[in-house]
Amino acid sequence: QVQLVESGGGSVQAGGSLRLSCAASGFTYRVNYMGWFRQVPGKEREGVAAIENVVGNARYADVVKGRFTISRDNAKNMVYLQMNSLKPEDTATYYCAAKQVPLWYGVPTLAEAQYDHWGQGTQVTVSS
């Protein structure tokens, strides 16, 4: 059973930075894709960034490109989201997600339906 535990959320002023961490365990396949999603009340969950563990290809939502960086430590089964130049509109609950597959298929997706495992979420609040 894959388990994901997020940490690192909090409150910050606009322009500040936060780093989210996600600890993963229970993978049985060698290849996995991990991503960060976020959700605000009343809105659908949206993909923020994702990364795969073979080549390290990453994908970002347009609204965070140039500000957020996703990275991972495969030896520790950790994935990180470095968030810089934060804006009030980045305020949301951030979720770590994972999908493990038997074969590598390239650049990860930001489609929520493609991910099978989810963390409990961590709140990020950006004040103006």
Q: Name the token pair of 87.
A: 């804006």
Is a pLDDT exceeding 90 seen at residue 44? yes
> What pLDDT sits at residue 104?
82
**Per-residue pLDDT tens over the stretch 71-105:** 999 999 999 999 999 999 999 999 999 999 888 88
> What pLDDT sits at residue 103?
84
* DSSP annotation of 1: -
Kindly give the residue spans of alpha helices, DSSP state H, lying in the chain.
none
**Per-residue pLDDT tens over the stretch 16-30:** 999 999 999 999 888
Mean pLDDT of the chain: 95
Closest CA relative to residue 58, chosen from 47, 46, 49: 49
> What pLDDT sits at residue 90?
98
